[in-house]
Amino acid sequence: MKRIGIDVGGTNTDAVLIDGEKVLSAIKFPTTADVMQGVVNAIGHVVAAQAPGASPVDAVMIGTTHFTNAVVERARLDRVAAIRIAMPAGASLPPMIDWPDELRDAVDPLSFMVHGGHEYDGRPLVPLDREEVRDAAMKIRDAGIDSVGITALFSPLTAECELEAAEIVRSVIPNARITLSHTLGRIGLLERENVTLLNAALQGLGRKTIDAFKDALLKAGVDAPFYLTQNDGTVVLADVAAANPVYSFASGPTNSMRGAAFLTGLKEAMVIDVGGTTSDIGCLVGGFPREANNVVEVGGVRTLFRMPDLLPMALGGGTIIDPETRKVGPRSVGYRITEKALVFGGDTLTTTDVAVAAGLVEIGDRDRVKHLDKALVADLLKRVEAMVEDGVDRMKTSAEGVSLIAVGGGAFLIPEKLKGASEVLRVEHAGVANALGAAMAQVSGEVDQVFSGMSRDKAIAEADRIARERAVEAGAAPETIVTLDTEDIPIAYLPGDARRVRVRVVGDIAFMKDEKRRAAGSLR
């Protein structure tokens, strides 16, 4: 089974072509101002490396930073409408109250708070006021807004209010793009509402991005189903991803972690992914990234949903060094490294220049950095080492040494020995681990919600059923799905034997055999 994996980063666009577990070709291109042209170039290179008459590509997996960048840059976001079903209890803090001003201004929200929602024990707070929802929908329609986020009090416990409100909104605005909070977030109202509204603001960009990738693949001569990578190390059909772009927020680092697991065969290890601008440190648990179980900020917005537990660091191959103060970072030359770094004839001292001067890597023209004082180079490498050791220590869960896998284009910056690490592993193709992780990814389905009124076994069985359904919808072959992990926590203060159940399943990609499946995610 031939697959192309692509990872579009801020500095480089990486691509690989694999057949089963064999790497047929790989390439690393500087990310171009026209991102899609860079994707076309990368695909064209790996496809051209095949022998004449080779079998066609079966699937394409793409990882992109488009959606995270849109939030960080406060650009390309849709205007959104927020409907919060939580009155009279949820009136004190309006929607987006904790958003940065410039981000709130970028989405220019139209907010409504209506009566309804449920208590913590599943009882209705007050009946849903359908007329208030209908009135809100008409005002949203009149304002020309078609991206709507609906959040109800304790909807992960029961989604009745959100589902009914969505029906009312669709009856008024048939083409509305609606995001329901219970499908994304967890119990916390504000954090769940935040990720819901971020998703609503990104759905238009999601559709445009998917269409642009389709065009790029056709331009490159590849006619195959394609998928987008998600922040749990798996993939989902591109058209499904367009509806939930927030699930691709941290897909780059998770691709690298999955690629590291693939290249080493390790399922329990720590991974550091060193790119051109930043590094990310994370932990593999069962071959997948360890998941964060606390609030994660995205672009200054507090969220609580499925995200990997990562420690970002301002350290990469393009990180700028001040030769006077010897400060490393946090700024980077990014994709302009081939213009700015000393070894390429530029005038900016970067970590790559230091590594070349120290003989750690052969990049550019070494003669251009031979003037660097050896003591300066040694001191700067010590500073980099201290940064990495501190990051490893912060991510460890025990005092014992751990295996650290160094991947990414800037992996040459990681020392051979580190305090806190039992070994530092370097592997072939580590520079394109992110693209490899995308290429060999599986499809997942996940449930994280509260069940009540049933036994523990029935609650877990129901969660497992829902997770499997979601995996099939995302493009998994039903017969290949296995349960990756199951967690249940009894909630003592809720009646009815209530418990929070989290189930995650993964399965292999189901290639589309019929026209209905093909129309859902293929280019044909």
Q: Give mean pLDDT, residues 17-23.
A: 87
Taking 90 as the threshold, does the pLDDT of residue 523 lie above it?
no
pLDDT of residue 10: 67
For residue 58, give every residue at least 6 positions away whose Cβ sits within 8 Å of its Cβ, in sequence order, or none: 1, 2, 3, 224, 225, 511
pLDDT band at 257 (very low <50, low <70, confident <90, very high): very high
Q: Give mean pLDDT, residues 328-352.
A: 91
Taking 90 as the threshold, does the pLDDT of residue 136 lie above it?
yes
Q: Which of 85, 131, 130, 88 is nearest to 111 (CA)?
A: 85
Taking 50 as the threshold, does the pLDDT of residue 514 lie above it?
no
pLDDT band at 522 (very low <50, low <70, confident <90, very high): very low
In whole angstroms, give the CA distance from residue 341 to residue 351: 9
**CA dihedral of residues 63, 68, 69, 73 (deg, nearest 10):** 170
Cβ contact 229:248 at 8 Å: yes
pLDDT of residue 144: 96
pLDDT of residue 32: 67
Please report, as a single letter, which amino acid is at residue 512. Answer: M
Cβ contact 185:304 at 8 Å: yes
Q: What is the pLDDT of residues 400-429, one digit of tens each?
A: 889 999 998 899 999 999 999 999 999 888
Cβ contact 434:273 at 8 Å: yes
Q: Give mean pLDDT, residues 42-63.
A: 82
pLDDT band at 518 (very low <50, low <70, confident <90, very high): very low
Q: Ranked by mean pLDDT, which of 113-122, 125-134, 293-302 comes out on top?
A: 125-134
Q: What is the pLDDT of residues 66-120, one digit of tens each?
A: 788 788 778 889 999 999 999 998 888 999 999 999 999 999 999 999 999 998 7
| Phi, psi for 478 (deg, rounded to 5) | -55, -40
Alpha helix segments (H runs only) across 232-373:
238-243, 251-264, 337-340, 351-357
Taking 90 as the threshold, does the pLDDT of residue 53 lie above it?
no
| Phi, psi for 441 (deg, rounded to 5) | -70, 155
pLDDT band at 141 (very low <50, low <70, confident <90, very high): very high
pLDDT of residue 449: 77
Lowest mean pLDDT: which of 31-40, 161-170, 400-409?
A: 31-40
Taking 80 as the threshold, does the pLDDT of residue 38 lie above it?
no
pLDDT of residue 220: 83
pLDDT of residue 195: 95
Give the total residue count for the chain.
Answer: 524
For residues 151 and 294, the model is more confident at: 151
pLDDT of residue 1: 78
Q: Which of 41, 55, 52, 475 is nearest to 223 (CA)?
A: 55
Residue 364: CB atoms within 10 Å: 19
Q: Output the six-digit token pair for 253.
A: 């680092």
pLDDT band at 163 (very low <50, low <70, confident <90, very high): very high
Q: What is the pLDDT of residues 216-242, one digit of tens each?
A: 888 888 888 888 998 888 888 888 888
Taking 80 as the threshold, does the pLDDT of residue 477 lie above it?
yes
pLDDT band at 511 (very low <50, low <70, confident <90, very high): low
Q: Give mean pLDDT, residues 332-358.
A: 92
CA distances from 489 to 181, 334, 450, 460, 504 (A): 21, 44, 9, 11, 15
Q: What is the pTM of this model?
A: 0.82
Average pLDDT, the chain: 88
Q: Ranked by mean pLDDT, which of 15-24, 285-294, 447-456, 463-472 comes out on top?
A: 463-472
Q: Give mean pLDDT, residues 195-213.
A: 92
Q: Give mean pLDDT, residues 169-177.
A: 96
In whole angstroms, give the CA distance from residue 286 to residue 66: 28
